[in-house]
Amino acid sequence: MSTPTLYIFAISHYCEKARWALEYLGVDFKLRSIAPGIHARLQKKYGLESSSLPLLVAGNEVVHGSAAIIDWAEARATNGRTLTPQGLEADCRAVEGRLDDIAGVHTRRYFYCEALLEHPGEVKPAFLEGLPLLERLLLHVMWPRITPIMAERMDLGKEQGEQSRAIVDDELGWLESLLDGGRSYLVGDSFTRADLTAASLFGRLSGTTDQPRATEPFLPPRMAADQQAWRERPALVWVREIYARHRK
Residue 33 β-bridge partners: 8
Position 185 scores a pLDDT of: 99
Residues 199, 12 contacting (CB under 8 angstroms):
no
What is the pLDDT at residue 211? 92
Quote the radius of gyration of the chain (alpha carbons, Å).
18
CA distances from 179 to 175, 185, 245 (A): 7, 7, 16
Query: Smallest Cα–Cα separation from 127: which of 142, 106, 113?
Result: 142
The answer to whether the pTM exceeds 0.85 is yes
Are the beta carbons of 139 and 128 closer than 8 angstroms? Answer: yes
Q: What is the pLDDT of residue 214?
A: 62
> How many residues in total does the chain contain?
248
- Rounded CA separation 163/159 (Å): 6
Q: What is the pLDDT of residue 65?
A: 98
Q: In sequence order, what DSSP letters do the residues of 27-53 get, joined into one string?
A: ---EEEE--TTTTHHHHHHHT-S---S
Question: Mean pLDDT by 10-residue block, N- to C-terminus, for the chain (248 residues)?
Answer: 92 98 98 94 92 96 98 97 98 99 98 98 94 96 96 97 99 98 96 99 96 83 98 98 95
Antiparallel, parallel or unpaired: β 5-8 and 30-33: parallel
* CB burial of residue 220 (10 Å; 0-12, 13-18, 19+): buried
CA gap 93, 214 in Å, rounded: 31
In this predicted structure, what is the pLDDT of residue 192?
99
pLDDT value, residue 2: 87
Sheet holding 30-33, edge to edge: 30-33, 5-8, 55-58, 61-64
Structural fold of domain 5-74: Glutaredoxin (3.40.30)
The ranges assigned to domains in the chain are 5-74
- Burial (0-12, 13-18, 19+ Cβ within 10 Å), 188: middle
Per-residue DSSP letter, 154 = T
Q: What is the pLDDT of residue 99?
A: 99
Task: Output the pLDDT for position 213.
Answer: 80
Mean pLDDT of the chain: 96
Contact 203, 235 (CB under 8 A): no
